[in-house]
Structure 1
Amino acid sequence: MQASGDDNQVIWLQPEAPAKPQLGQACNGCGVCCAAEPCPVARVFLWQWRGACRALEWHAELKQYRCGMLLRPAHYVFLLPRFLELSFRSWIRRWIAAGVACDSDAHIE
């Protein structure tokens, strides 16, 4: 899949992943946004500034991508105490607006 904009970029996604929805439509787990660039959560907690997010997880049984920081934060943030995991997940869900709407303006070819 190739995302085009000001900079052409090639991103690799599973062939079974759903097609990217239009900007503003419901999120469907296509993974384009996270494969194209890391979100603020990845920048702050994973210190990742470019490339596909390391926490982007493919879930074959759902045929969708999911945010690993949302599903398994302690796997990615090693010093996160277990008792804070639920609160952290809630905070991450709000910060990235998980499942709300597509916020990627990438054009897929």
Structure 2
Amino acid sequence: METTVALHQDAPPKPKPGETCNGCGLCCAVTLCPLGRLRFWRTRGPCPALHWDQNATRYVCALATGKWTKRWIAAGKGCDCAYEAEAPG
């Protein structure tokens, strides 16, 4: 099944599986992590906690603010998003 999501034009490219998260936003634009599912009571994205950080030119999670929440969702760890991104056109 094909899914289309819109990401910021300056978002970094999706890293390869296992590479460090770079804030591309693709995973959170498509589905919600366990923390997002509990907070927002839904499974499909985009996650309401996904925000564009203009200064850092990357997406950030508004829920992953503490040590334990970051650890729980493995924020900043290896990319585990099975989706692939392609530019429109």
TM-score (norm 1): 0.75
CA distances 1:13-44 after superposition (whole Å, capped 9, x unpaired): 00000000001001101001100111111111
CA distances 1:46-100 after superposition (whole Å, capped 9, x unpaired): 21221200000100111000011013xxxxxxxxxxxxxxxxx222111111111
Name the structure with the higher strand share. 1
Unaligned 5+ residue runs, structure 1? 1-6, 72-88
Partner-residue secondary structure (3-state), 2:42: coil
Structure 1: which 4+ aligned runs deviate by more than 4 Å? none
Percent identical across equivalent pairs? 42
TM-score (norm 2): 0.91
Name the structure with the higher helix share. 1
Bigger radius of gyration among the two: 1
The CA RMSD measured in Å over matched residues stands at 0.9
Unaligned 5+ residue runs, structure 2? none
- The residue aligned with 2:71 is 94
